[in-house]
Structure 1
Amino acid sequence: MIKNIYIKFSLFALVAISQLQVSCNKALDAPSVEVSSEEVHWQSVSDTKAALIGMYGLMRAAMVDNNAHWMFGEFRSGDFSSYRRQDLNAVINSELNKSYDLLENISTWRRFYAVINAASLFIEKAPQVLEHDSRYTRYNLDLDIAQARAIRAFTYFYMVRVWGDVPLITSSFDNGTFPEFPRTDYRDVLTFAEQELIEAVEVLPFRYGVAPQLYYGTFSSNWQKILFNKISGYAILAHLAAWQGKYLDVAAYTQFIMDNYTEANISYLNNVAPSGTGTAGLAGNYGVFTNNFQFGQIINFSAAYSYGEATASGHIEQLTMARPYINRANPDVYVSKDTITQAFVERNDRRFGVDTVSGLFRENYFKDYNNEIPVFNKIKVIRDGVEDGDYAVFGSNLVFTRLEELTLLRAEALAVLGQNIKAIEMLNVIKAMRFTSSYQVSELQTKPLIDEIFKERRRELMGEGWRFFDLVRWNRIKPVNAKVVELIQKDGIYWPISRSVLRNNKLIKQNTYWN
């Protein structure tokens, strides 16, 4: 049943996103949601289930459309270079106002407002099902609405990081017409998102469908890595606070996560590559980016083959893969050998280093390091038997955050707050798992702790969409990169708003940096 719902709404999400590209609606330039209101009649439990899964599908589609998640967070001012594509070079060099279709498509926020509208519609309409279907209980409704509020809050946080001020809309518009909305100060948007999350986490469970209590007729194993739970809510709150520099709040939220993550069946990825017994790890076919990983992750958007979600686009592999994995001479983006050796400084590092027995380079992150252009293969989920790069189908999940990322975020917060001993403990949790040297208290004067934390984030999270946002937070704490500091001072960290949005809503003004 879950599989059928997934396939249905994976297709619906793709249709919805494609409709966004041709929408000429006024105001927000947001899409009509007539399709959604016709599709979901709010009469039965099957309607709420389909609408709920549909929100997750829409969010994933919004994030991966034109590989936007990696354009926003990984490629811009990051570690990747482009082999031949000038539009990708424009992203990498923060030349975001150049006239490329890719940049125009990425810089529209319509697809994210489709998520917000779907969430608002659910919050308003789902209570009607209580009147029509006795199988739908108040408990079920409360869980569903808490998820809708969390998804809407997450979407606003996601947009604020990209565009800064965005219109704050808290009601649905399901008749195809939208009044004009001006942009709302990003601080007010984040305040709204934070309050929504604070209320949602009180209701969200650690796990859904824990025996004997079913959730939509199934037990918890069917909902792993699919739905937002209590840990997911606290993770968003932690990042929302970190983006605003509220590190006392970050410390509090991450403390809750560290104290309770096992309740949500979440674990650390102790292995970089899986063992022959199938032990789950960071990379490989039994790693965290696949649905083969046995433990749930904190915020994950599935693209499993088993649910019919694997596609040729919307995965980082579309840009990073080449021979020997697919029939393409060189990838569109790659990490240069100079950058690799600058980032990975220890031979024993299991992510990339030198095997002391064989003398060969470890290939958990990079394949064929000795070639002119190594292939980034940390995230590599490819359908077996596909060899032609033009038709390769990829099945990697989009993992927004996992336990290791939040451990390093906690280390960041504690370091900023001057709690160095505790920060070092958190940093060394990750270093120990990757077989690198522990950071020592005696190094505080010679190797600034906050620098070492962000350097570890660079290594651990490469390819996961964090690099640019980490650079912004790092340089807000202390100036380490003159170009990023200038972007922060001039509000250049935000993307330009697409021409189509500006054309269709006269209340929207361009971000000043891009005027």
Structure 2
Amino acid sequence: MKKSYIFFAALAVTLCLTACNKFLDEEPISSKSSETFWETEKDGNSAVASMYALLRQGMNNGLFHYAHGDLPTDIFSSDRDLGGEDFNYIQDADWSIAIPAASTWRVMMRNRRFDHFYSAIVQANNCLANLPRIPAANFDTEYETSIRHFIGEAYFVRAFAYFYMARVWGGVPIVSDQVSTGLDMTNYQRASAEDVLNKALEDALTAKSYLGWDNVSTVDKHVRANKGAALALLAHIYAWKADYANCELAAKELMNSNYYSYASRTTYTDIFKGNSTEGIFEIAQNSSTEAAAAMIGSFTLKTPYLTTNTGNALWPLDTLTLRQTLFTDRSDLRVQHGFDFFDTGDPICLKYKNLSYTSSGTAVMPLYMSNIIVFRLSDIALLLAEAHAYQGEYSAARDLLNRIRGLAGLGSSTVANADLFEAVINERGKELFLEGHRFYDLVRLAKIKGVYRFGSGGSAKISSSEFQQGKYYWPIDPLLISNNPLFAQTAYWSSEMQ
């Protein structure tokens, strides 16, 4: 395998995302004044908003959202070096490489550590414990509505963090402690995957009961949770548990609200600027104060969209998957407006082309200003179609599938009913290309239908036997185990770690 250590070292500096030997190194934002902080509505709003900032840090750390959700799938090619040794290993689903304990900046280490998400959980716990302390008289808005929404947001963030980790590692610690400083987890064990999912489900249901459809602030409509975000999360949790009857109920409640609407596919990439009509929950980074100097666009764009890269995109898309598995019809509006150089050896996805440039001395640096679109209407429509197909409700599944195809300018699907579940997963691959869903969709396809498509051509990445042994769950980094011997390694990887 090719090596690119010089670039990789530079990348580590550029990402500016560090880790340390403490299990949790992000201090909850409100902890600096725990005794006096919780006095006004403004304090409560600030504390709740900080949960999302901490969540963003976890999802960006080591390009976590895309390194887990897209990179180890059939949409990326192993034909070229990916601009860093660790990204090559992640892409190949070879997650066991040895990394020196001092190399906390390494992308693989950061992607094997779940501790980054506990800062958001701790902040949510602090919010749940302290929000009721704020006197109703200190609210400028209607107290009952606002305090319930704040509390609902805290339950949502905690549910989301647990679900996010459960899909990656299966079992992780369940933390209910309220702390005012860093969290000492040396006495925690990993809960079972089932218990973590049940905790996420419990919190998501509670969030739904507290949240209304309208956010506290219309400015933060999509980047702060509302009832729609809670329902979308519930639909995904139920689908992951293969509880498709309840997945259907949650998705239908969201769809029937008519709170969201589909964006035009002729302006498809505008969705990723954030705050589109179909956005349900997003991670904000579309302003100059939230933009990152190294994001997914760094690896998937090239000139003329990224003027600092005059060569090929650093992460090459798999042309076999792109042109023969997913986008077989060039009239697809998502091809016409979501890609460039489509029929060349180096096609690129344009979803993350929203950027600006800043100067540092003589160097010009891009700032990526696309939100992470976590849930959107098309995602939930296709998840509902998946639920219908699983339950043998083929007409309802086909109607939803064809609705999404129609938005893209395509005709109705003609696949047989027996193949409809896989066809929906395939459509999700097209509609949600490079949005952090592909790996988890392929896991569900493998579980439900025994179809394994993690690689393209002769690259299996995860074989059927490896899947049955649980390889789709990530290992935790050995550094976490050395800091806390109570942590057991993920089952498949216990004999694979180097």
1:338 corresponds in structure 2 to 320
Q: Secondary structure of the residue that 1:170 maps to in structure 2?
A: coil
- Cα distance 1:19–1:399, how it changes in 2: closer, same or farther (>3 A)? closer
1:349 to 308, 326, 332: 332
2:412 corresponds in structure 1 to 438
Aligned residues: 455
Shift in Å, 1:106: 1.3
With the length of structure 1 as denominator, give the TM-score of the two structures. Answer: 0.83
1:114 to 105, 111, 119: 119
- Cα distance 1:90–1:32, how it changes in 2: closer, same or farther (>3 A)? closer
With the length of structure 2 as denominator, give the TM-score of the two structures. Answer: 0.86
2:370 corresponds in structure 1 to 396
Q: Secondary structure of the residue that 2:316 maps to in structure 1?
A: strand
Tell me which amino acid in the other structure corresponds to 1:331.
A
Between the aligned partners of 2:88 and 2:68, the Cα distance in structure 1 is 13
1:195 to 202, 207, 210: 202
Among all aligned residue pairs of Structure 1 and Structure 2, give the percentage whose two residues are the same amino acid: 27
1:235 to 221, 228, 232: 232
In structure 1, stretches of 5+ residues that fail to align are 1-16, 209-214, 275-281, 353-361
2:395 corresponds in structure 1 to 421
Q: How does 1:361-400 map to 2 (within 5 A)?
A: 362=336, 364-383=337-356, 391-400=365-374
Between the aligned partners of 1:52 and 1:198, the Cα distance in structure 2 is 19
1:407 corresponds in structure 2 to 381
Q: Secondary structure of the residue that 1:393 maps to in structure 2?
A: strand
- Structure 1 position 458 matched with structure 2 position 429: yes
Shift in Å, 1:369: 3.0
Shift in Å, 1:376: 2.1
Tell me which amino acid in the other structure corresponds to 1:64.
N
Asked whether the equivalents of residues 59 and 65 of structure 2 are also in contact (C-alpha less than 8 Å), the reply is yes
Q: Secondary structure of the residue that 2:57 maps to in structure 1?
A: helix
Between the aligned partners of 1:298 and 1:79, the Cα distance in structure 2 is 25
Tell me which amino acid in the other structure corresponds to 1:21.
A
Shift in Å, 1:347: 3.0
1:130 corresponds in structure 2 to 135
Between the aligned partners of 1:122 and 1:290, the Cα distance in structure 2 is 29
- Structure 1 position 165 matched with structure 2 position 145: no
Asked whether the equivalents of residues 232 and 298 of structure 1 are also in contact (C-alpha less than 8 Å), the reply is yes
Tell me which amino acid in the other structure corresponds to 1:350.
L
Asked whether the equivalents of residues 226 and 302 of structure 1 are also in contact (C-alpha less than 8 Å), the reply is yes
Tell me which amino acid in the other structure corresponds to 1:267.
S
1:310 corresponds in structure 2 to 291
Tell me which amino acid in the other structure corresponds to 1:460.
E
Shift in Å, 1:423: 0.4
Q: Secondary structure of the residue that 2:426 maps to in structure 1?
A: helix
Shift in Å, 1:379: 2.6
Tell me which amino acid in the other structure corresponds to 1:154.
F
Q: How does 1:2-81 map to 2 (within 5 A)?
A: 21-22=19-20, 24-25=21-22, 29-31=23-25, 33=27, 36-38=30-32, 41-81=37-77
Asked whether the equivalents of residues 74 and 318 of structure 2 are also in contact (C-alpha less than 8 Å), the reply is no
Shift in Å, 1:44: 2.1
- Cα distance 1:36–1:503, how it changes in 2: closer, same or farther (>3 A)? farther
Between the aligned partners of 1:254 and 1:35, the Cα distance in structure 2 is 34
1:295 corresponds in structure 2 to 277
Between the aligned partners of 1:509 and 1:256, the Cα distance in structure 2 is 39
Asked whether the equivalents of residues 357 and 366 of structure 2 are also in contact (C-alpha less than 8 Å), the reply is no
Shift in Å, 1:425: 0.4
2:420 to 425, 446, 449: 449
2:448 corresponds in structure 1 to 477
- Give the superposed CA RMSD: 2.4
Deviation string, structure 1 residues 297-317 (Cα, Å, up to 9, x no partner): 1111111226x211212x310
- Structure 1 position 323 matched with structure 2 position 303: yes
- Cα distance 1:386–1:474, how it changes in 2: closer, same or farther (>3 A)? farther
Mean Cα displacement is larger for which, 49-58 or 373-382? 373-382
Q: How does 1:202-213 map to 2 (within 5 A)?
A: 202-208=209-215
- Structure 1 position 500 matched with structure 2 position 479: yes
Asked whether the equivalents of residues 379 and 432 of structure 2 are also in contact (C-alpha less than 8 Å), the reply is yes
Deviation string, structure 1 residues 64-113 (Cα, Å, up to 9, x no partner): 11110001110112311253233222111100112362111111111101
Shift in Å, 1:200: 1.8
- Structure 1 position 272 matched with structure 2 position 261: no
Asked whether the equivalents of residues 166 and 193 of structure 2 are also in contact (C-alpha less than 8 Å), the reply is yes
Q: Secondary structure of the residue that 1:429 maps to in structure 2?
A: helix
Q: How does 1:236-275 map to 2 (within 5 A)?
A: 236-260=233-257, 262-263=258-259, 266-269=260-263, 271-274=264-267
Shift in Å, 1:150: 0.9
Asked whether the equivalents of residues 163 and 495 of structure 1 are also in contact (C-alpha less than 8 Å), the reply is yes
Asked whether the equivalents of residues 130 and 138 of structure 1 are also in contact (C-alpha less than 8 Å), the reply is no
Between the aligned partners of 1:365 and 1:177, the Cα distance in structure 2 is 43
